[in-house]
Structure 1
Amino acid sequence: MTTVEVARDGVALLYCAIILLVLSWIVFSMRVGVRMWRKAWGMDDYFMLVGTILFSVTAALCIVCCHYGSGQFARELPTVTISKGTKLFYIAEYFYAVSAMFVKISVAVALLRIAVGRRFFTWALWALIGATMVAALVFCIGIANISIEITADFSLSIMPAILLWNVQMKGAVKASVAVMLALASFASCATIVRLKYLTLYSDPGEFMYSTGKIGFWSLTEVGIGLIAGSLPPLRPLLSLRIRVSAGSNTPDASGGQAYQSGINNRQPTSRSRVIAMDTFQTLGDNDEADNSDGDSQKNIIKETKFTVTSVIAGGPRDPGPMAWDRKEGSNV
């Protein structure tokens, strides 16, 4: 048996691969659902689909590498384990490069829709697409041209804010789209951090140890980019409206409405309200405006006060029998 227990940096790599794999498929599945619902499936969705599949292969290979000593020193691993782990990680690196390329192209194609009619940005995006493809090709033949990747990442994260600056949109919509697209800047930071750990490759004898940190930041770069690139298409979900109903006319056992004697009876009424999911409206905030009860006891119970006084017979306040007789006579 050549597999070993996951340890050291391999633990972080294992959990990173599992979490990002699950989150990426959840977000992408929601993206597919929204696109089908709105009948807006486009070329950027095809690119993101390919990127998601390739990223899944990358994450799966990294999970397997964790059981072949990824993130551990050579002295802690059998020679056969190091050999198999090295081979698997090299394969994973190729899938990483290609998946990152498709994810970045998907974001760029989505921005091309916004940049229609703006020639400068259109050409800049096509240039970024070409540079990304070249970087992936160069990486796959053994030379990691990281500067192109970093430039492309930061350009794709900053350009949304520039493109949306003069677009006729509501301020809230413009801000939300810019923020969601700018989340890709975190992937850019992951690329830079990953660059730092590439120096670990300089020691071929500790290749499996270097795969722990390098694999972690490689998955973070592509996984976060994939999730951030799939968030803007989910915005139509925020425009959905839900209907909330509270209370109902519930008859009692005799078939009539429940009531309480001695109380100003008020029949319960059904209440429903349509709430947009893109607002932060709270039930009860507009109770006075819609004549509903914010308080469960408001205007339901009527209080009646009785005052009882004692009069001593023969006392100064005793009206005497004649007074009572006259009062009774007047009521007849």
Structure 2
Amino acid sequence: MTTVEVARDGVALLYCAIILLVLSWIVFSIRVGVRMWRKAWGMDDYFMLVGTILFSVTAALCIVCCHYGSGQFARELPTVTISKGTKLFYIAEYFYAVSAMFVKISVAVALLRIAVGRRFFTWALWALIGATMVAALVFCIGIANICDLFYSAIEITADFSLSIMPAILLWNVQMKGAVKASVAVMLALASFASCATIVRLKYLTLYSDPGEFMYSTGKIGFWSLTEVGIGLIAGSLPPLRPLLSLRIRVSAGSNTPAASGGQAYQSGINNRQPTSRSRVIAMDTFQTLGDNDEADNSDGDSQKNIIKETKFTVTSVIAGGPRDPGPMAWDRKEGSNV
């Protein structure tokens, strides 16, 4: 039996892998459902699908590594366990690099939709895509300290660029407060993923001691999974916006007293007394930004509570019908004087 009990930094790595694996699949599954519902499946969804699958493999390998001494000192582990754990973590690093590449390309492709007609941002996004692919390729060709540092530098640049660019692209776009809040949340998550990359870069110095490689995998694996997992979740949140276009109907009981006068006449026509009030609450508070969404006919925050809309219902009565009031009163009066 070469496996050992999970301990030290391996505990944090184990729970991080499980939590991010579950959350990423929940968010991505909802994303797939929304895209199918709106018939708006695009290339960014394909890239995110590949990234999610590869991230799942990375997380699974890290979970296994935890049982092979990840995050523990060499003196606490059998030699056979260290050998197997080292091999598994090297394989996990390959999947980590490629999954991060696909997640970042997915976000960049989604931003290309917004950057249509803005040549500078379009070229900048394509440059980021190219740099991310080159970094992943170099990382996979030879995993060494210099390559790892090169890859982390490219990832940090890409993360910060992709987190800041949405704010620049949408700076002059009139948006509701809820839209601005959603963009802020997405940027916060993306920035956190960037911080995870920086923290991971700090712990790469642990690789300088080959004898304690399994100990270094605890912290490095934790921040690697955090970087990709948070990036994946942040990249899948904007496509969930159409969920807020759903409407819910709220009904409340009414103790309205019996109608009188005109109300009684109307009640007689309808042959029933209203017993409840219902109103439809629109959950969509987002301005349309594309993706084949239905147009939002609101006037935006600047005109909120200013324009009042009143609806009238006109009912026509067919002559001779069951509700025809018959000849007018003045016609009947004329007939009686003849």
Q: TM-score band (shorter)?
A: 0.7 to 0.9
Q: Is the contact between residue 175 and residue 300 of structure 2 (CA under 8 Å) also seen in structure 1?
A: no
SS in 1 for 2:261: coil
Q: Is the contact between residue 264 and residue 300 of structure 1 (CA under 8 Å) also seen in structure 2?
A: no
Q: Say which of 200, 204, 216 aligns to 1:198.
A: 204
What does residue range 172-187 of structure 1 map to in structure 2 within 5 Å?
172-187=178-193
C-alpha deviation, 1:286, in angstroms? 34
Q: Is the contact between residue 145 and residue 207 of structure 2 (CA under 8 Å) also seen in structure 1?
A: no
Distance 1:159 1:263 in 2: 61
Q: Aligned pair in 2 of structure 1 residues 69, 254: CA closer, same or farther (>3 Å)?
A: farther
Q: Deviations over 1:134-192 (max 9, x none)?
A: 11111112257991111111000000000001235445424423532452111100000
**Which ranges in structure 1 are unaligned for 5 or more consecutive residues?**
none
Q: Is the contact between residue 68 and residue 82 of structure 1 (CA under 8 Å) also seen in structure 2?
A: yes
SS in 1 for 2:280: strand
C-alpha deviation, 1:132, in angstroms? 0.3
Q: Is the contact between residue 265 and residue 300 of structure 1 (CA under 8 Å) also seen in structure 2?
A: no
Q: Is the contact between residue 96 and residue 218 of structure 1 (CA under 8 Å) also seen in structure 2?
A: yes
C-alpha deviation, 1:272, in angstroms? 1.9
Distance 2:99 2:321 in 1: 104
Q: Deviations over 1:294-314 (max 9, x none)?
A: 999999999999999999999
Distance 2:145 2:309 in 1: 82
What does residue range 88-103 of structure 1 map to in structure 2 within 5 Å?
88-103=88-103
Superposition TM-score, scaled by structure 2 size: 0.75
Distance 1:91 1:24 in 2: 21
C-alpha deviation, 1:238, in angstroms? 1.3
Q: Is the contact between residue 243 and residue 275 of structure 1 (CA under 8 Å) also seen in structure 2?
A: yes
C-alpha deviation, 1:240, in angstroms? 1.1
Q: Which has the higher mean CA deviation after the structures are superposed, 138-147 or 273-282?
A: 273-282
Distance 2:122 2:65 in 1: 41
Q: Aligned pair in 2 of structure 1 residues 145, 166: CA closer, same or farther (>3 Å)?
A: farther
Q: Is the contact between residue 14 and residue 63 of structure 2 (CA under 8 Å) also seen in structure 1?
A: yes
Q: Is the contact between residue 2 and residue 80 of structure 1 (CA under 8 Å) also seen in structure 2?
A: yes
**Which ranges in structure 2 are unaligned for 5 or more consecutive residues?**
147-152
Q: Is the contact between residue 20 and residue 223 of structure 1 (CA under 8 Å) also seen in structure 2?
A: yes
- Percent identity between matched residues is 99
Q: Deviations over 1:273-329 (max 9, x none)?
A: 212234699999999999999999999999999999999999999999999999999
Q: Which has the higher mean CA deviation after the structures are superposed, 83-92 or 256-265?
A: 256-265
> Which structure ranks higher in relative contact order (CA pairs < 8 Å, sequence separation ≥ 6)?
2
List, as ranges, runs of 4+ consecutive aligned residues in structure 1 with deviation greater than 3 Å.
143-146, 168-172, 246-268, 278-332
Q: Which has the higher mean CA deviation after the structures are superposed, 316-325 or 21-30?
A: 316-325
Superposition TM-score, scaled by structure 1 size: 0.76
C-alpha deviation, 1:86, in angstroms? 0.4
Q: Is the contact between residue 287 and residue 294 of structure 1 (CA under 8 Å) also seen in structure 2?
A: no
SS in 1 for 2:278: strand
SS in 2 for 1:293: coil
Q: Deviations over 1:187-235 (max 9, x none)?
A: 1000000000000000000000000000000000000000000000001
Which residue number in structure 2 is paired with residue 222 of structure 1? 228
C-alpha deviation, 1:46, in angstroms? 0.3
What does residue range 107-186 of structure 1 map to in structure 2 within 5 Å?
107-143=107-143, 147-186=153-192
Q: Is the contact between residue 68 and residue 81 of structure 1 (CA under 8 Å) also seen in structure 2?
A: yes
Q: Is the contact between residue 175 and residue 286 of structure 2 (CA under 8 Å) also seen in structure 1?
A: no
Larger Rg: 1
SS in 2 for 1:320: coil
Distance 1:70 1:231 in 2: 32
C-alpha deviation, 1:237, in angstroms? 0.8
